[in-house]
Structures are given as structure tokens and as C-alpha cells.
Amino acid sequence: MALQTAQRPLGSCGTPTHGSLLLLLLSLGWLPPPGAQAADTGLGFVTPWLQRPTRDPSWQQPELTVVLQRAQRSTKTKVCALSQKACPPERKATVVDENLVFYEEWELEACVDAALLDTQMDRVNAIPFTHQQLEIFRCKLNQFYPQGYPESLIRRLRYFFYAVTPEDIYKWNVTSPEIVKYLLKISEGRRMDAQVAVLIARYLVGGGQMDKATLETLAAFRPTYLCLLSPEQLDSMPHNVVWAAGPQDLDTCRPPQMDALYSKARIAFQNMSGSEYFARIKPYLGGAPTEDLQALSRQNIHMDMATFKKLRTEAVLPLTIAEVQKLLGPNLAGLKAEEGNSPVRDWILRQPQDDLNSLGLGLRGGIPNGYLVLDLSFREALSGGPRLLGPGPGLTVILTLLLAVILN
């Protein structure tokens, strides 16, 4: 927010003009009616920075249920098209045994009931069925339990867990930590990262808690699950988890999660320096504080605009123009394309327009010459809260007196 310091014309009663009044009211946190137009006050040239939002909506990330739905939608569905042939009476299975290994696929589809598979899952796990045969069993169980396997079956899946898909797990209701630990142990050393991520999501969305032993076991898998964990759970994860994570694993993380992950990554990569350190820490910079960004700007490291866009808005705002120049280096021109988006937009609103002009990028929306920056939390300043950004308490008194004159 800005307040002009140069002398302005007065109205017929010696009070400030409507434009001055609007600036004052905005500085106090009061907004004009929705229908008010900039043209009515002659303030069209300050509209960009009068419209500065008080909260960055990009920080409102999906909750666990939304993450689950996203995982479910992205899963390639396996279509179960079972044969409609009738089972020859002599081939009807009444027990799961080695003879079923020699059944043709259509015979397994027609002659093995899902209820038999359910009750004799231990036998299914003990017999060396092929992948194709296990896929038939999976489809039959899915048709038998269209709403997802019950825990009574999940507890007995053992190696049959290798045959299930993330979409199958999406339908489960997992409430037991013992089941989670058991399935994680079964999955270790196998390429089941997607299944594990959905399993953890299903468990957490039901209110499940993750103890240290479970988190340590979870660290053995590709960390596609990171954004499902709370900051406290992330703090308990082994530091080596950040070595395996990629940018795609962090896409849905909320700011508190990124804070926890950045702190962990900073410790994990502390023995590195220069470009090697930057390459490792880059996916986690969304949790970096201002001080660390300033330190990076002094290391001749050039950040790409995609990474800059993911920085925390409050961490970017205090950066000077010189620090942003050094941080972006040859990528500085990318600011122009992002001048309407956070955090670039919010940073521009804090900079003197003359200084922005010196960059030669045509950036607009900075503070006009002759204006002072005020904090929108001015009402808190009057009650002993955070103070104004600028000249100090003297201006607070002047604005208070001016408001009293206007209201009288």
C-alpha cells in the first residue's frame, strides 16, 4: 500500500480529495464497495498495486482425499473382461491346489469362485501361479468386492499384494497400522512405489498414525508419498529420503510440508557446495527462508524461472532488486512473463517503479516516485501490533489525526 507525500489539492472544505481519502482508507484496511471504479477517484495509475491480494491462494493445496482422487485418476485401469463360458462340472474347483496351475485361463475364469479365493488366500500364496493367472484371480476378487477388499482379506494377502493395482487399493478401507507395516515389509525391494503411496494415503485419510518404525520402513520406497505426510511425520523421516525425491514427488506439498522437507534437505546436503549443492537443494527451495535465498544470490548460482515461481511469497518479498538480479542471472528476463503471477507480482508491488525501470524489462506495478509503503496491518499497529513499514510511529500519529478530521 502507498501514501503520496507530495502536496495534494484540497476540496472546498479543506479536506483531502476523494483520491487521497481512498488511499488513506485502504491503508487502514478498509476497501471500497465492489462497484467503485478507479476512474472515479483519478487513481487509475495506481490500480495494480491497490489491488494487491492479502493472501496467496496458491498456498491452499489439496487435502489427502483430493490427493487420493488424483492418484486414482492417474492410474491406468486394468480392464477385467472375464470369460462367459460355462464351467464343465468335472472342472469346478472346490479347493485351491496345484491342479489349478494347469487350468486354461478361461477355465480359471469359469471354474474358480471368488469366495473360494477369499477363504483360501493362504493357498493362493503358496502355489506358483503365473502373473496371468493371478490377474484373473484379482479381477474375480474385484468383482466380488466392488467396494474394495475388507480388512479380513487384506490381512491375508501376503504375496498376492504384488498383483493388486493402485486403483484397487484406492477402494480399500485401511485402519490397522499392523496391516500397513506388514504390506510395506512384503513390498520392500519390489517396484511397488505407486501401490505403497496409495496405501499410505488410504491409511492416513482414515485417521491412521505413522510411528517411527513405519516411517523408517517407508523410506525404502521412492518418496511419492511425501506430500501425504504431516510436517511432524516428515521430521521423523530419515534424512536419506530427500536424496531420492524428485520435483514430481513434491508437486502437491503444502508450505508447512515444504518447510520440513527443506530443513531436512539442507542438513542432508550440507557437505556439498556450489552448483552441486544447488542441483540437490533446488526441488526443496519452496521451503527456503529469505536468508537462504540471499545467500544463494551471493554464490553466482542462476535459478531458472520455474524454480523461482515455486518460492514462498513471504521469502521473496524482502529480496532487493540487486539480489533478484544475481539470483536469476541470465534468466532475469523471465520476470516479465510472470509479472501478473505470484510471487513475482507481489515482489514487484514492493519495489520502487524507478528501480524496476532500470532493469529494462518493462515491468509495471511498482511504487510510484514520491510514495511511501504502508503495511495493510495498520489497524494492528494502532493496538500495539506490528508497526508500519516506513517512516515510523510519527506517520502513525499523523494518519490517526487525519482520520479523525475526515470522520468529523
Q: Which three cell numbers stand for residue 67?
A: 490427493
Number of other CB atoms surrounding residue 323 within 10 Å:
17
Q: What residues have CB less than 8 Å from 120, skipping those under 6 apart?
A: 95, 96
Q: Which three cell numbers stand for residue 11?
A: 476540496
Q: Which residue has the higher pLDDT, 213 or 99?
A: 99
* pLDDT tier, 189 (very low <50, low <70, confident <90, very high otherwise): confident
Is a pLDDT exceeding 50 seen at residue 352?
Answer: yes
Give the CA distances from residue 327 to residues 18, 195, 233, 308, 350, in Å, rounded to whole numbers and listed in that order: 41, 39, 32, 9, 18
In tens, the pLDDT along 115-131 reads 999 999 999 999 999 99
Is a pLDDT exceeding 70 seen at residue 338?
Answer: yes
Backbone angles phi, psi at 130, to 5 degrees: -75, 170
Of 129, 122, 119, 121, give the one whose Cα is nearest residue 98: 129
Q: Which three cell numbers stand for residue 93?
A: 474347483
Q: What is residue 399's predicted lDDT score, i.e. its pLDDT?
A: 54
Question: What is the C-alpha separation between 253 and 233, in angstroms, rounded?
Answer: 13
SS3 assignment, position 206? coil
Cis peptide before 343 (omega within 30 of 0): yes
* pLDDT tier, 391 (very low <50, low <70, confident <90, very high otherwise): very low
